[in-house]
Protein backbone atom coordinates (compact mmCIF):
# COMPACT_ATOMS: atom_id res chain seq x y z
CA UNK A 1 0.00 0.00 0.00
CA UNK A 2 1.19 3.51 -0.80
CA UNK A 3 2.45 5.58 2.12
CA UNK A 4 3.41 8.62 0.08
CA UNK A 5 1.75 11.95 -0.46
CA UNK A 6 2.85 14.86 -2.60
CA UNK A 7 1.76 18.33 -1.60
CA UNK A 8 2.14 20.59 -4.58
CA UNK A 9 1.42 24.06 -5.82
CA UNK A 10 1.64 25.75 -9.17
CA UNK A 11 2.10 29.30 -10.35
CA UNK A 12 0.30 30.21 -13.55
CA UNK A 13 0.26 33.01 -16.10
CA UNK A 14 -3.46 33.55 -15.46
CA UNK A 15 -6.62 31.91 -14.17
CA UNK A 16 -7.86 30.00 -17.23
CA UNK A 17 -6.39 26.49 -17.64
CA UNK A 18 -7.20 26.34 -21.34
CA UNK A 19 -5.58 29.68 -22.24
CA UNK A 20 -3.01 30.31 -19.52
CA UNK A 21 0.11 28.36 -18.64
CA UNK A 22 1.82 26.77 -15.68
CA UNK A 23 5.01 28.73 -15.01
CA UNK A 24 6.21 26.91 -11.88
CA UNK A 25 5.60 23.60 -10.11
CA UNK A 26 6.70 23.19 -6.48
CA UNK A 27 6.14 20.05 -4.45
CA UNK A 28 7.17 18.14 -1.35
CA UNK A 29 6.96 14.40 -0.85
CA UNK A 30 5.74 13.06 2.48
CA UNK A 31 6.37 9.49 3.57
CA UNK A 32 5.34 8.36 7.06
CA UNK A 33 4.46 11.97 7.95
CA UNK A 34 7.97 13.26 7.16
CA UNK A 35 9.12 15.43 4.27
CA UNK A 36 11.49 13.22 2.29
CA UNK A 37 12.06 15.20 -0.93
CA UNK A 38 11.31 18.44 -2.75
CA UNK A 39 10.61 19.25 -6.39
CA UNK A 40 10.78 22.72 -7.88
CA UNK A 41 10.90 23.83 -11.47
CA UNK A 42 10.18 26.97 -13.40
CA UNK A 43 8.53 26.41 -16.79
CA UNK A 44 9.18 28.29 -20.02
CA UNK A 45 6.19 30.38 -20.96
CA UNK A 46 5.08 30.60 -24.57
CA UNK A 47 3.31 33.89 -23.88
CA UNK A 48 4.70 37.02 -22.25
CA UNK A 49 3.91 37.48 -18.56
CA UNK A 50 2.02 40.59 -17.60
CA UNK A 51 3.50 43.01 -15.10
CA UNK A 52 0.57 42.21 -12.82
CA UNK A 53 1.37 38.49 -13.03
CA UNK A 54 5.05 39.15 -12.27
CA UNK A 55 4.05 41.07 -9.13
CA UNK A 56 1.56 38.40 -8.07
CA UNK A 57 3.87 35.39 -8.54
CA UNK A 58 7.24 37.03 -7.94
CA UNK A 59 8.45 35.39 -11.16
CA UNK A 60 9.98 37.63 -13.80
CA UNK A 61 9.50 36.89 -17.51
CA UNK A 62 13.26 36.74 -18.13
CA UNK A 63 13.56 33.95 -15.52
CA UNK A 64 11.42 31.69 -17.71
CA UNK A 65 13.26 32.23 -21.00
CA UNK A 66 15.82 29.41 -20.65
CA UNK A 67 13.60 26.98 -18.77
CA UNK A 68 12.26 23.67 -20.07
CA UNK A 69 8.77 23.63 -21.56
CA UNK A 70 5.81 22.18 -19.70
CA UNK A 71 5.91 18.82 -21.49
CA UNK A 72 9.40 18.12 -20.11
CA UNK A 73 8.77 19.56 -16.64
CA UNK A 74 5.47 17.73 -16.29
CA UNK A 75 7.04 14.41 -17.34
CA UNK A 76 9.78 14.93 -14.72
CA UNK A 77 7.12 15.76 -12.12
CA UNK A 78 5.08 12.65 -12.96
CA UNK A 79 8.22 10.49 -12.74
CA UNK A 80 9.25 12.17 -9.48
CA UNK A 81 5.97 11.65 -7.60
CA UNK A 82 5.68 8.04 -8.76
CA UNK A 83 2.44 6.64 -7.34
CA UNK A 84 2.10 9.06 -4.43
CA UNK A 85 -1.29 10.61 -3.70
CA UNK A 86 -1.75 14.30 -4.45
CA UNK A 87 -2.52 16.86 -1.76
CA UNK A 88 -3.18 20.50 -2.52
CA UNK A 89 -5.30 23.44 -1.52
CA UNK A 90 -7.86 24.67 -4.04
CA UNK A 91 -7.50 21.37 -5.88
CA UNK A 92 -10.02 22.20 -8.59
CA UNK A 93 -7.91 25.12 -9.82
CA UNK A 94 -4.54 23.39 -9.42
CA UNK A 95 -5.46 20.05 -10.94
CA UNK A 96 -7.34 21.66 -13.85
CA UNK A 97 -4.07 23.25 -15.00
CA UNK A 98 -2.06 20.05 -14.48
CA UNK A 99 -4.61 17.83 -16.25
CA UNK A 100 -5.05 20.29 -19.11
CA UNK A 101 -1.28 20.48 -19.69
CA UNK A 102 -0.98 16.70 -19.42
CA UNK A 103 -3.74 16.16 -21.97
CA UNK A 104 -2.13 18.64 -24.41
CA UNK A 105 1.13 16.67 -24.25
CA UNK A 106 -0.31 13.12 -24.11
CA UNK A 107 0.84 12.57 -20.54
CA UNK A 108 -1.41 10.20 -18.60
CA UNK A 109 -2.24 11.35 -15.09
CA UNK A 110 -4.76 9.62 -12.85
CA UNK A 111 -4.18 10.49 -9.21
CA UNK A 112 -6.41 10.65 -6.17
CA UNK A 113 -6.40 14.21 -4.83
CA UNK A 114 -6.93 15.32 -1.24
CA UNK A 115 -8.01 18.93 -0.99
CA UNK A 116 -6.70 20.42 2.25
CA UNK A 117 -9.54 22.92 2.67
CA UNK A 118 -12.14 20.17 2.24
CA UNK A 119 -10.28 17.89 4.66
CA UNK A 120 -10.24 20.69 7.25
CA UNK A 121 -13.96 21.37 6.73
CA UNK A 122 -14.67 17.70 7.35
CA UNK A 123 -12.42 17.19 10.39
CA UNK A 124 -12.27 20.66 11.94
CA UNK A 125 -15.63 22.30 11.20
CA UNK A 126 -14.93 25.10 13.69
CA UNK A 127 -12.34 26.46 11.23
CA UNK A 128 -14.25 28.42 8.63
CA UNK A 129 -11.26 29.61 6.61
CA UNK A 130 -10.54 28.01 3.23
CA UNK A 131 -7.21 29.59 2.32
CA UNK A 132 -4.04 27.95 3.56
CA UNK A 133 -3.16 31.23 5.31
CA UNK A 134 -6.46 31.39 7.17
CA UNK A 135 -6.50 27.70 8.06
CA UNK A 136 -2.92 27.85 9.32
CA UNK A 137 -3.54 30.94 11.43
CA UNK A 138 -6.63 29.30 12.95
CA UNK A 139 -4.74 26.10 13.83
CA UNK A 140 -1.37 27.48 14.83
CA UNK A 141 -1.99 30.79 16.56
CA UNK A 142 1.15 32.85 17.25
CA UNK A 143 3.32 30.66 15.05
CA UNK A 144 5.40 32.16 12.24
CA UNK A 145 3.73 31.66 8.88
CA UNK A 146 5.86 29.34 6.71
CA UNK A 147 5.79 29.19 2.91
CA UNK A 148 2.83 27.60 1.13
CA UNK A 149 4.13 24.02 0.92
CA UNK A 150 5.37 23.90 4.51
CA UNK A 151 2.14 25.51 5.70
CA UNK A 152 0.08 22.90 3.81
CA UNK A 153 2.33 20.15 5.19
CA UNK A 154 1.69 21.23 8.79
CA UNK A 155 -2.06 21.48 8.18
CA UNK A 156 -2.14 18.07 6.46
CA UNK A 157 -0.18 16.37 9.27
CA UNK A 158 -2.46 18.03 11.84
CA UNK A 159 -5.49 16.54 10.07
CA UNK A 160 -3.80 13.12 9.71
CA UNK A 161 -3.30 13.12 13.48
CA UNK A 162 -6.96 14.10 13.91
CA UNK A 163 -7.95 11.07 11.81
CA UNK A 164 -5.64 8.82 13.82
CA UNK A 165 -7.13 10.11 17.09
CA UNK A 166 -10.47 8.84 15.71
CA UNK A 167 -8.90 5.45 14.88
CA UNK A 168 -8.97 6.19 11.14
CA UNK A 169 -5.84 5.41 9.18
CA UNK A 170 -5.09 6.66 5.69
CA UNK A 171 -2.14 4.32 5.30
Q: List pLDDT tens digits, range 33-77.
A: 999 999 999 999 988 899 999 998 999 999 999 999 999 999 999
Check whether residue 80 and residue 146 sit in a common domain: no
Check whether residue 56 and residue 132 sit in a common domain: no
| Distance from C-alpha of 102 to C-alpha of 89, rounded to nearest angstrom | 20
pLDDT score of 133 more than 50: yes
Check whether residue 29 and residue 102 sit in a common domain: yes
The number of beta carbons lying within 10 Å of the beta carbon of residue 65 is 10
Q: Which domain holds residue 124?
A: 116-165
- At 83, the pLDDT band (50, 70, 90 cuts) reads confident
**CB neighbours of 45 closer than 8 A, spacing ≥ 6?**
13, 21, 23, 61, 64
Total domains, the chain: 2
Check whether residue 100 and residue 16 sit in a common domain: yes
Query: What pLDDT is recorded for position 2?
Result: 60
Check whether residue 69 and residue 139 sit in a common domain: no
Domain annotation covers residue 94 = yes
Check whether residue 97 and residue 153 sit in a common domain: no
Q: At 45, which CATH number?
A: 3.30.420.10
Query: What pLDDT is recorded for position 1?
Result: 41
Q: Which residue has the higher pLDDT, 136 or 165?
A: 165
Residue range 137-149: mean pLDDT, rounded = 80
| Distance from C-alpha of 38 to C-alpha of 32, rounded to nearest angstrom | 15
Check whether residue 74 and residue 48 sit in a common domain: yes
Check whether residue 73 and residue 136 sit in a common domain: no
- At 98, the pLDDT band (50, 70, 90 cuts) reads very high
Run of H or E residues at 23:
strand 22-31
Check whether residue 124 and residue 157 sit in a common domain: yes
Residue range 91-113: mean pLDDT, rounded = 93
Domain annotation covers residue 13 = yes
Domain annotation covers residue 170 = no
**CB neighbours of 120 closer than 8 A, spacing ≥ 6?**
127, 129, 135, 155, 159
Check whether residue 26 and residue 68 sit in a common domain: yes
| Distance from C-alpha of 158 to C-alpha of 171, rounded to nearest angstrom | 15
Residue range 127-138: mean pLDDT, rounded = 83
Amino acid sequence: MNNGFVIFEIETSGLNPTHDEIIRINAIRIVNKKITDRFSSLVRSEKPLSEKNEKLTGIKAHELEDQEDISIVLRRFVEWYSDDHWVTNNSKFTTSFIINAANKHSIFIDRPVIDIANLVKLLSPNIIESTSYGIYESMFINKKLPDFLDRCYEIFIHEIKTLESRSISIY
